Structure formats: C-alpha cells, structure tokens
Structure 1
Amino acid sequence: MKFVCFQSFGLQLIFILFSGIVEGRKHHLTLTKDVRRYFTVSTFGFLKGGKLDVQVNELSFVPPNFETKFGFTLIRTNSDSVTPYLENHQDTCLLLDDSSRDDTSINIVSFILDLGKQIINVNCSQMFSTLIIERDQRWNPASETSTRKRRNIGEVTSDSYLLARRKREDKKSQNTLFNKTKDELPSTSTNLKSEAETAEKNTLNNVCSTVQNLPVNKTGNVYSFQFSVVIGDDKHKGLYSLYFHNCANYGKHMEKTMVNLTMTIKEENQGTYLSAGEMPLPHMYFGLSVVFFSVGCFWIYVIRKKKDEAFKIHYLMGLLVFLKSFSLLFHGINFYFIAREGFHIEAWAVLFYITHLLKGALLFITLVLIGTGWAFIKHILSDKEKKIFIIVIPLQFLANVAEIIMEESEEGEAQHTTWREVFILVDLLCCGAILFPVVWSIRHLQEASQTDGKAAMNLEKLKLFRHFYIMIVCYIYFTRIIVYLLKITVPFQYEWLNEFFRETATLGFFVLTGYNFRPTTKNPYFRLSQDDPELEMEEVITQTGLTEGISKSVRSRDPEKECKVSQREISHEFD
C-alpha cells in the first residue's frame, strides 16, 4: 500500500512539473526580482547557416537605475567548458571592459542597453567583425504577451502536430510555386538579380563592425528590443553562450537592483532545432533502444532455458533492461520532435520521465540486492541492509526529480543551477551508498573463509564479490567523471559522444553483471560443499529458484555410534 502511494505521488509530481513545460529550443524565460550579477541565458552549438533570434519583450528595473549598464554578451567557445575570459572578470562587469575589442583571441559580442538614448550599442571583437547582426523590422513588441501562457498536458496533441506539418507543406508549396513562376517569367530575371544584389549589400551593411546601435522601444519604465545573429561563415561556427549582465550589482552596494525580464530565444541550425552536438542523438537513442531490447529478449530466453535455477532477482534484472530500452526509445522520440518543431510533445515526454524514474529506482534496488547476496546466498536482509534501502530509494527518487526539473527549467532560471547542484550531490551519495552492502558481503566472506571448513567455496564467492565491487566502482567513475571530462574537452559538434559512451558503459555493465550472476548451477553462488564434518547439517533439497528457501535436516550416520547402540540394546534384551 505504501509503495502504491509513493508511486502515485511520483506520477503526480511529474504532472505538476509539466504545468510549466519548456518548448525545447524555443525558450521562454521569465524572471522576477532577479539580483544576480550575471547568468547564462542559453548555450547552443551553431553551424554555418545557423541563427540566434533574441526577443526581449519586457525588461524593467527596481528601483529604476538609468546610469548603470544592462545588456547581453555572446561568447563563442570550442567546447562546453568554463569560459576563461568570463572567469577572469568575476569582480568587474563584462559590459564595461573595452579591452575585448582589440584582443584577437576573444570571440565576444556585447549588446549594451543605453537607457538615456534608448538604443542598444553593439560592440564586437576583431574575430567577430564580420558576424552578421540583424533586426526584424516586422517585430512588434505590442503583439507579444507580457507573460507567457502556461500549457497543460494534452494541449499539444497530434492535431496540433498535423497543423504544424500542414503549415510547413503549404510554405514548401508556395516556394515551389514561386520558383516555377520565376522560371516561366524570364523577363523578371533582371529584377531578381537586382534584388539579390540589394540583399547582399544589406547583408554586408549588417556585419558586426558596421552595426553601431539597435533601436529600443520604451513603454513607461519597461523596455523591449530584438536582435538576431546569423552564422554566415564557417569560421564563425562554434558553441555560443548568451549571458545577461546587471552591472548595478557589482561592488559592495547595500541596495541591489532587481531585474524583471521576459524574453524569447529561438536557436536553430539549417533544417533542425538541435544543437550541433545533439544532431546524432535521435538516431543514437533509437539504435541503443533496439540493442537493449535485444539483450532483454536474450535474457528472457536464458531464464526460460534455466527456469529451475532462476531466482526472483533474475526477473528484476530483465525488467530493468526493458525499462532502459523504453526509456531510450521515448528519449529519442523527444529529440526527434525537438529537431522538427523546436519543442517536444508532452505525451511522449511524460512517458520518458515515468520510465526514467522507474529505471533509476530499479537499478539501485537491483544493485543493492545483488550486493547483499539476497536470493543467492541468503533470503533475509539484515537491519543495516534494510536501512540502506530506506536511504538509497528516496535519494535516487530525489535525484531523478532534480534531473527532470533541470530538463524542464530554463538555463537562465535560478532554480536550474540549484537543482543541478542537488542532482550532483544526491547522485554521488547514492553511488557511494550502494557500495556498502558489497563491502559488508566481502568482509563476511573473508571471515567465513577463515573460520569454517568451506574455505574453497567462500574464497570463490569472495573473488566474485570483489569483481562485482570493481565493476561498480569503474561504472560510477566512468559515467560520472570520465564522461564529464570528455564533454568539456571534445569539440562542440562531438558532444553526443559523452552520451554514447555513457550508454555503452551502461550496456557493458548490464552484460557483465548478467554474465556473472546468470542462472546456472555452475555459479559459485549455488555450489555446495560436499564434505561437511558436522554431525548434523542443513541440506538444500533443490537448487531451483522455484523452491528457494526450502530445506530439511538430515542426521548423518556414524558406524561406531550405531555399533555401540546395537550392543547396548543386546545387553538389555533379556532384562
């Protein structure tokens, strides 16, 4: 009953999280009374032809401060690592630093809000002198809503997806009709040529070195503006991070300037809304889902073939593999819709988060049960082993919830950073906690091998437990540390490799664990000692998983005692 209530609470929490869902790579950020000096708005890998569109619908300050500087910086890096230039300017506002203009090693563009003149001053480094900066003349801030309307589950259905698809097809047909009309009217070729030359001329006029300022709309004390950055050259492709800066809060001021901000960010590469390092992820997740599903089917075949030697934990291991397969499948579907539409469909996202929660909880439950030797060498958990479950399961649930909130919150929100720190801390605690049962089992087998007469069998079990301990340590070290180091060192377009290595390491860990603890009588777990010197021993009737725990007591026969008993009976025969 408690488990059902706990599971129901988890599902309710997932639905609550989706009341404020994020639309993939079409970001909507709303901040109220934010006092941070600077924060990351978004990070995205752009290739040639990519475009960043930023629309600030509402920007206000409390109290109004017309002398300080507010604005954005766009910084390019080659990998997802810490920006050295930003780290060296922790005590000074980056918008006030003019040295970046002459530094040839810095790739940065600053958009500084001038409240008095109501313009945006654009400053770019030498490396970004030919970066294209545009402004959409059709943008009307009055048409933008002041606050974003939150969507509930079910609003984005297959009908809305078909409507979006129909719009794309209509747009494609209009382009085809335009091209056909252009071919049928050769007299207009001169006009088209002149229009192309005009567009090229305008593009040259929009490069960063020639753009001095952008207009700002003001309504009372609320400001709004819009700008776009186009990656028109191969030398400009890279991983771009957009930061917001509040220069009023640098220094030791007693009164902090609070910022109210509502903005929309759209990031896209040619034909996709995925970052350059995320483009292979949908196909990769689909392929790995098939691999895990095949491994699960093979595991079921092994269990059915060795049904008499299979225990309950073997079925839990099979369920874990299938949950992992479906989790990867739904994850791939999410990325597929993000690539096409810029946002994911809530129904598929809910399915992914449910399977992700169940998979995470079942993984740690299975590891703890194997580490304690449950169903293999004993059928009852000790009190301290039960306490491990009481600690690990809630922590793992909290870690999964933190990961979901990180996925569903914007990178610029304060809670995103908080929950990321919570996730890292709780995940490391869970990984450390599951090692205790394995250590306890190893210590118990070491003591047993020195005290009783089953030294050979206990040493073989001890060797298996030590291998399992090494496997867990390597798995945790690789998926938590090595993969992170890989992420911050590889070029931005190869960021998908960290996910690939994490999932392949998980697959290898599952396969090795299944091989070592497979249902077979040759496993050291199931092997019994045949030469027990005790007079009375407990003999297992069968080694099958169907009748685990059934035993009987058999009294060993001693020929000398039987002879003495016979003589005693003869001596009293005629009494």
Structure 2
Amino acid sequence: MAEVQRGCGLAGYLLLLLLMLHGCKARIHKLTLENETRFAVDLNNFGFYANGTLDVNLTSLRLHSDPRMNYSTYPIGFTLSRSRVNGILTLTPEENEACPLSLKEPTNNEPLILFLINVDNLSVTMKAISGKDNVLTAEPKTDKTKGQRTAREAPEVKPETNAEKPGNKQAESQKEAAPVKEKTEEQPEAKVSGEAEKVDENKFYLEKTKEVILALGKVNNSYNFSFHMVIGSLAQGLYSLKFHNCNNRLPGVKLPYSFTVEVTEKNPGGYLSAPEIPLSRLYICMAGVFFVAAMVWVYTLLKHRYSVFKIHWLMSALAFTKSMSLVFHSINFHFINTKGHTIEGWAVMYYITHLLKGALLFITLALIGTGWAFVKYILSDKEKKIFMIVIPLQVLANVAYIIIESTEEGSSDYYLWKEILFLVDLICCGAILFPVVWSIRHLQEASSTDGKAAMNLEKLKLFRHYYVMIVCYIYFTRIIAILLKVTMPFQWQWCYEFLVEVSTLIFFVMTGYKFRPASNNPYLQLPQDEEDVEMDEVVTESGALEGISKVKKTSNGRERQKESTF
C-alpha cells in the first residue's frame, strides 16, 4: 500500500500544477484558433429558453490566400442549428455529405440559420432556413450608391404607425398639451427618436425575413463582424453553433485559417444552459443526503466498534468526500449562473475533492472485492497489480475531466481528451471487477475441497450479490442514463445527473448494508483460513512441539482442535 500512497501523493501535486495552468469552465467563451485546418469547428452547444440571448463577436478572421479557395462554391461561415433529438446532430446524413452552408431549402422544420462570409465584397449573408420566431440584431450592409440597407424577401419589421409607438404617443400628447415649444426642447426629442429608428433598422424578425446582407469589417487583412440574437418562444431548444470552411471538405485540401471568436449565451435567469439550471440546487441537496448517510454510517461504526475494520473507516471517508465534492460542484454552478464563469478558488477545491472521490471509490470497491481486512490482510500479487493499474488510470481520468472542463469545446484537443476520459473510465470499471471474479473462483474451489463448504457458500453468495451490484451500477450510470438523456426533452436533461447521483447513493447504501460491522455478517462468522494455514506450518516445523495442538474458537463459541501432523 506504500506504493499506492506515494502514487496518490504524486497525483495530488500533478493536479495542483494542472489547475495552475488551466482556466475554469465558463459560459462566456473566448476561443482563439491559429492555422486551423478542420472543415467544421463546434463552438458550443447551449439550451435556450424563450427570450434567451446569443451574442457572437468574430474578430481577427484571417484567411490564407490560396488559388484553390473558391468561396462561391465552397463558402465559409457559421451555422446555428437546433438539435432534433437533444444533443444529437441536427443535420441528416444526406446533409452532412454536402457543406451545410450550401443548403438552399429547409429539409425539416427545425430552425437553421446560416451566416455566409464573403470577403470579396465585405459582406455576410444571413439565410434563415426555417428561422421560427427568432430575432436577429446586426448591422446591415448599406448600398453606398443608394444609401439603403440590403435586405431581401420583405422587410422584417412591420412599418409601425405613430399610434403603435409608445414614444410617439407621448410626443403627440405633449404636442397637444403644448402645441408651441421652444427649439431647445425639441432637439433632445428628435435625437431620441432618431436613435430608436436606428435600432429598429438593425433588427430582423427571422420568421418573415429569409435573407439579410450584413456588414463585414476589415482591419489590417483581418475580418470581423458580430450579431445578437433573441430566441423566440417557438424556437427554444438546444442549439449548436459551428464554424465551417467548406474548402477543407475537398479530399486532400487543408487550407489554414485563424480567428478569435467571443460567444456569450444567456437565459432569462442567468448564464446556465436550460438543462443545467436546476443542477446547483440538485447538487447541494444530494450533498446533504450523502452527508446524512455518512453520519449514519459513522454512528453504526461507533455502535459496533468491536466489529469494525479499517476498510469501514475508508468507506466513511468516501461518503464524506462525495458530499464535499457535491457542495463545491454546486457552488461552481451558482457562480457560472450569476457571473458567467467560476471562481478559481472554488473550482480548485471542487477538482481536488473530485479527484479524491474518484480514487477512494475505486480503491474501496477493489479492496472489498478482494476481501481485504474482512478475510485477509495481505493482497496477492495479482491484486497488487490491479491496484497499480487502476489508481494511475483513475488519476488520468480525473486529469482528462479537468482538462475538458477548462477547455473550450471548439479547441482541437477537446474531443481527444473526451475520448481518453471515456476509454479510461471503461477500463477502470472493468478492472475493478477482476478482484471480485477471482474471489468468487477462490470460494468455489474452497467450497469443494474443505469441510467448511456451508460457510464458504454463504460468503460466495455475498460476493455474487456484490458483483451483480457493481455491474448494475456501471451499466446504469454509463449506458442507460446516457440513453435516457438523449431521449428526454431538452429542459429535462438535468434528470440524467439526478439519476446518476441517486443510483450512486443506492449503491453506497447497499454496499454499506451488506458489509456493515455486525456479529451476524457472513464475513465475520468465518474463521481466518489464511491464519490457520500459517499457524499449522509454524507448529509442525519443530519436532519439539510434537503432539501440541492448536485450539481456536469459532463464531458460535465452540472450540475446535487441530492436531499436529507429526
């Protein structure tokens, strides 16, 4: 176990160093890509309620000149699409074969908005393909020769009469009350009215306006533009914002580009995505439940102190660490909702407790599976190798999780670390099953070779129950809960986290109940077989001890005798 402790200590130092180098998860995103060659970049996914807002500010877009670039046939720009099935790709396989920016007609009733960047005439063409009732606010491109904005397919804003404008009503009432005014009093009113008309000219209702030509700025060979969008009540849902360079869809073409984009997403109640809004309250409530369970467990240990083993206290440490991790997780989501980002100190505390919780969970499960402390105090070589594999993998999995949390979704390493986390998690889950399987096989062999078959069968039954519990826990939290997540309505996806936490609580309670410190526990009713074998070997080594027998009491109070073999 000394190697294990040194490994955990090293992992702690590595984690602290990592936290000093990486930022924290936020909902105000800023992504900078240099010499990127991907044809599609997933900038972010967010669940919007009605009146939620999306602000996108593209700066420093630089396109490396290349004769192979054909922006008319293979455009560049953004797509904003709503998911059909809560997080699953919006585009169909047929649509994915072609560049999404080249779509002409809607293939479904889901909102899909395209922003096509044209660097030749410094414009951005916004195409609303089934735009629902979203409202876009952006600077339109003006025709310098005519002094008019370029918007197609009917004005997006109805011409409002003077009776429909609250400001003009007030002006008319004031005019009727005082038909003659001084010139100095009329100027501020005219200025305010002019500003209101300017704001109206930049607002487009996508339910009616299908195409708008927006302005594209240029500064020192870099391009920029921005837009603000309000999600309507008919268009709320999970949205995916992506950047596309369709030139790089061609075989063998990898044309580099660079840009910086700032994305701010917000719901009426804060910066959290719709499925994440209840998570802060969920985590703090579950933290209280785990804390109560931990206190009940400690009370049980103190009540049966003569039947307590070291692993029982390790189980209590796991429960308290889980509770603390949920508290800091709740605090993180609270600050994200109110400020758009986490507070670094609270994020560090959460990551530390998250790492400790993960390590303690797998160590405890593996130790229980081997029967350590209950039946034997020494791990076999095979079991030691399992620990030397599982613990570093758990450290790697937690480091991968931290990197994912602190990395923007659009960065090139995001999905790599996500795949590493998924793979390592599956390996760890499979590895902790090996000690249980070995213990079951050992008990099956012992039941057929010695005279304590009935007791061994009782323990075998307990191990089989424990094995089934672990398999069900892994299967539910890694597969079933995820399937439920992608089939739920977007505003109910927080139930995925609720199901995972409740299943973890049930698993903890059932494990504690089966291996509780009590005189009627099947583990504690059995004699220590390994100690019997060692004592027999010591007694028979010396000829001077011939005829001496060892007397040992069983759990029912009777004495049994083992005669020396000599």
The normalised TM-score by structure 2 is 0.81
Match of 2:111? 107
Between stretches 443-452 and 329-338, larger displacement belongs to: 443-452
Q: What is the CA deviation profile of residues 172-222 of structure 1, one whole-angstrom value per residue up to 9, with x for unaligned ones? A: xxxxxxxxxxx9xx9599979989996996586443643511111112321
Match of 1:401? 399
Name the SS of the counterpart of 2:274 in structure 1: coil
Q: Structure 1 residue 30: deviation in Å? A: 1.1
Match of 1:83? 89
Name the SS of the counterpart of 1:522 in structure 2: coil
Q: What is the CA deviation profile of residues 148-193 of structure 1, one whole-angstrom value per residue up to 9, with x for unaligned ones? A: xxxxxxxxxxxxxxxxxxxxxxxxxxxxxxxxxxx9xx95999799
Q: Distance in 2 between matches of 1:244 and 1:314?
A: 53
Q: What is the CA deviation profile of residues 505-540 of structure 1, one whole-angstrom value per residue up to 9, with x for unaligned ones? A: 00000000000000011000011379x9x9988666
Q: Distance in 1 between matches of 2:228 and 2:354?
A: 36
Amino acid at match of 1:98: K
Match of 2:135? 132
**Measured at CA, do residues 189 and 448 of structure 1 come closer, stay the same or move farther in structure 2, by a change above 3 Å?**
farther
- For 1:212-291, what aligned pairs fall within 5 Å after superposition? 212-231=212-231, 233-253=232-252, 255-291=253-289
Match of 1:49? 51
Match of 1:157? none
Name the SS of the counterpart of 1:248 in structure 2: helix
5+ residue gaps, structure 1, are: 138-182, 544-552, 559-575
Q: Distance in 2 between matches of 1:200 and 1:114?
A: 25
Q: Structure 1 residue 83: deviation in Å? A: 1.7
**Measured at CA, do residues 539 and 118 of structure 1 come closer, stay the same or move farther in structure 2, by a change above 3 Å?**
farther
Q: Distance in 2 between matches of 1:499 and 1:4?
A: 33
**Measured at CA, do residues 557 and 363 of structure 1 come closer, stay the same or move farther in structure 2, by a change above 3 Å?**
closer
Number of residues of Structure 1 aligned to a counterpart in Structure 2: 495
- For 1:171-186, what aligned pairs fall within 5 Å after superposition? none
Kept in 1, the 8 Å contact 2:84–2:110? The answer is no
Between stretches 521-530 and 104-113, larger displacement belongs to: 521-530
**Measured at CA, do residues 307 and 483 of structure 1 come closer, stay the same or move farther in structure 2, by a change above 3 Å?**
same
Q: Distance in 1 between matches of 2:243 and 2:305?
A: 61
Q: Of residues 371, 381, 398 in structure 1, which corresponds to 2:369?
A: 371
Amino acid at match of 2:239: Y
Q: Distance in 2 between matches of 1:74 and 1:390?
A: 46
Kept in 2, the 8 Å contact 1:286–1:329? The answer is yes
Q: What is the CA deviation profile of residues 72-96 of structure 1, one whole-angstrom value per residue up to 9, with x for unaligned ones? A: 0001125433225254333321111
Q: Distance in 2 between matches of 1:189 and 1:327?
A: 66
Amino acid at match of 2:51: G
Amino acid at match of 1:121: T
Between stretches 456-465 and 63-72, larger displacement belongs to: 63-72
- For 1:301-450, what aligned pairs fall within 5 Å after superposition? 301-450=299-448
Q: Structure 1 residue 306: deviation in Å? A: 0.6
Q: Structure 1 residue 485: deviation in Å? A: 0.5
**Measured at CA, do residues 306 and 257 of structure 1 come closer, stay the same or move farther in structure 2, by a change above 3 Å?**
same
Kept in 2, the 8 Å contact 1:80–1:489? The answer is yes
Kept in 1, the 8 Å contact 2:390–2:431? The answer is yes
Q: Structure 1 residue 97: deviation in Å? A: 2.1
Match of 1:561? none
5+ residue gaps, structure 2, are: 141-169, 178-188, 537-546
Kept in 1, the 8 Å contact 2:447–2:457? The answer is yes
**Measured at CA, do residues 501 and 357 of structure 1 come closer, stay the same or move farther in structure 2, by a change above 3 Å?**
same
**Measured at CA, do residues 556 and 252 of structure 1 come closer, stay the same or move farther in structure 2, by a change above 3 Å?**
closer
Q: Distance in 1 between matches of 2:392 and 2:175?
A: 70
Match of 1:60? 62
Q: Structure 1 residue 339: deviation in Å? A: 0.5
Q: Structure 1 residue 23: deviation in Å? A: 5.2
Match of 2:37? 35
Between stretches 332-341 and 29-38, larger displacement belongs to: 29-38
Name the SS of the counterpart of 1:419 in structure 2: helix
Name the % identity: 45
Q: Structure 1 residue 421: deviation in Å? A: 0.4
Q: Distance in 2 between matches of 1:258 and 1:27?
A: 22
Kept in 1, the 8 Å contact 2:22–2:403? The answer is no
Kept in 2, the 8 Å contact 1:537–1:554? The answer is no
Kept in 2, the 8 Å contact 1:23–1:342? The answer is no
Q: Structure 1 residue 250: deviation in Å? A: 1.1
**Measured at CA, do residues 537 and 283 of structure 1 come closer, stay the same or move farther in structure 2, by a change above 3 Å?**
farther
Q: Structure 1 residue 298: deviation in Å? A: 0.7
Amino acid at match of 1:429: I
Name the SS of the counterpart of 1:351 in structure 2: helix
Quote the RMSD (CA, aligned, Å). 3.0
Name the SS of the counterpart of 1:234 in structure 2: coil
Name the SS of the counterpart of 1:27 in structure 2: strand
1:485 and 2:483 are equivalent in the alignment: yes
Match of 1:117? 121
Kept in 1, the 8 Å contact 2:283–2:327? The answer is yes
Name the SS of the counterpart of 1:213 in structure 2: strand
Q: What is the CA deviation profile of residues 474-517 of structure 1, one whole-angstrom value per residue up to 9, with x for unaligned ones? A: 00000000111011110110110000000000000000000000
Kept in 1, the 8 Å contact 2:275–2:494? The answer is yes
Kept in 1, the 8 Å contact 2:59–2:223? The answer is yes
